[in-house]
Amino acid sequence: MKIKHGLASLLFWLLLLTMSVLCGCNSNDKKQMSVKEPVIKQPDKPLPIKIMVPPELGFKIVGYMLDSRDSSEVAEKKFAQCNVVVYACAQLLTNNVVKVIYPEVLKSLIRRAHRNHSKAFLGISGDPYEFKKMTKDVGDRSKAIHHIMQLVRQYGADGVDLDWEFPTIREKTDKPFTAFAKQLGDSCHVNGRYYFSCAVAPGVNKVHKRASAIEKELLTGPWVDWFNVMIYDDYSDDKPYVQHSKVAYNSFYYWLRVRKMSKNKCVLGMPIYGRPSGIPQEGHVLTFKTILKEGGNAYSDSAVIKTSKPISAKDTSKHYTIYYDGINTVKKKTRGAMKYGGGIMFWELGQDTDDKHSLITAALNEASTHQNNSKH
């Protein structure tokens, strides 16, 4: 009986130990099963990209400034008078590279424009051959646009102005220009961040065929916010008495009536300089402020300029007539632009006076008067 009792006792303790081990294993399994799996955080979703037109600026007053000009040459009030100031221009170089030749001038221009609550645009220009070569290939277009947008962000500009002078149907650059402008416009319009404008020919003089290269879909579509119509340089080296900027009415008729450009996109360009006609242009094109210093009348549209040497080998006279837009003409054009178009543009800020004869001041005063009268 003692042996049986001892054997039974041993079997009991072995059974108890086995159950303990089994329970321990189950307990550990349960603990392992109860451990929560780590939560893998999903990456933040990128902001949705929308191609949309930036806020309308209303009646636009656009002023270009030469990239080679010392910013200090332009009075502070000019930056306040214009609601858009364009740096003219960054250059399209070989290999689809776009370069700012005078970065300090661009920085100063943007800083002064923003200080006066105006928009600052990066102008893009260059050799027509480089534009022609670049725009033929979609990869080259993308590379150039990448450089442009990189510069816009780097310097803190508010938009881009394209000044390709000029695409033509004859050279078959009309469709490449359209493709490039559409792609650049979309890049500017991502989430409505940047503006995009284009400088175009007047369409009524010797560069009429160049204007026809601007296709209808660009004029009526959403890609280009407005067009700065360069209504000047209608001159002749041979034919006298040609006023180089007196084609505003015909130019507006061409773009608005014939080509169906939207009213708010048609910006009337005016020169702050004069040109002769019937003689060589080199050395005889003068800024408005120089014309006044030489005795010209601020309210007239022409002046006789005296020279120290003969005009040319054929023309031994020492004087010539220069043609420009005086204060009265600028006021008249401003009224026309307010009635039929979407703004006015000036080339170029450093050529204006800073006194009572300022053409930009005359335009602003006329615009203000016209607005006040329209309210009554």
**Do the beta carbons of residue 145 and residue 135 sit within 8 Å?**
no
Parallel/antiparallel/unpaired status of strands 319-323 and 343-347: unpaired
50 lies in some domain: no
Burial of 153 (0-12, 13-18, 19+ CB in 10 A): exposed
Q: What does the DSSP 8-state code read for residue 311? A: S
Cβ contact 347:273 at 8 Å: yes
Strand partners, 160: 122, 196
Sort residue 308 into left (φ over 0), alpha (ψ -120 to 50) or beta: alpha
Residue 286 lies in a domain: no
Measured between alpha carbons, how far is 195 from 309 in angstroms, rounded to an integer? 47
Left, alpha or beta for 95 (phi > 0: left; psi -120 to 50: alpha)?
left
Residue 208 lies in a domain: yes
On whether residue 79 sits in a domain, the answer given is yes
State mean pLDDT over 218-226: 97
Could you tell me if residue 46 is inside a domain? no
Question: With bands split at pLDDT 50, 70 and 90, how would you rate the model's confidence at 191?
Answer: very high
| pLDDT at residue 31 greater than cutoff 50 | no
Q: What is the CATH number of the domain that holds 87?
A: 3.20.20.80
Kindly report, residue by residue over 96-142, the tens digit of the pLDDT: 999 999 999 999 999 999 999 999 999 999 999 999 999 999 999 99
The answer to the question of residue 218 being in a domain is: yes
Domain carrying residue 187 = 60-271+326-369
Instruction: Give 42-88 as a 3 state SS string.
Output: CCCCCCCCCECCCCCCCCEEEEEEECCCCHHHCCHHHHHHCCEEEEE
Domain membership flag for residue 305 = no
Domain assignment present for 282: no
pLDDT in tens, 35-91: 445 555 555 666 688 999 999 999 999 999 999 998 889 999 999 999 999 999 999
- What is the tally of structural domains in the chain? 1
Q: Is the dihedral of CA 236, 241, 242, 245 positive or negative?
A: positive
pLDDT over 70 at 252, yes or no: yes
Radius of gyration from C-alpha coordinates of the chain: 34
- Cα distances from 262 to residues 54, 219, 250, 327, in angstroms, run 16, 7, 16, 28
The pair phi, psi for residue 197, each rounded to 5°, is -125, 165
Beta-carbon contacts of residue 255 (< 8 Å; ≥ 6 apart)? 200, 203, 211, 219, 227, 229, 261, 266
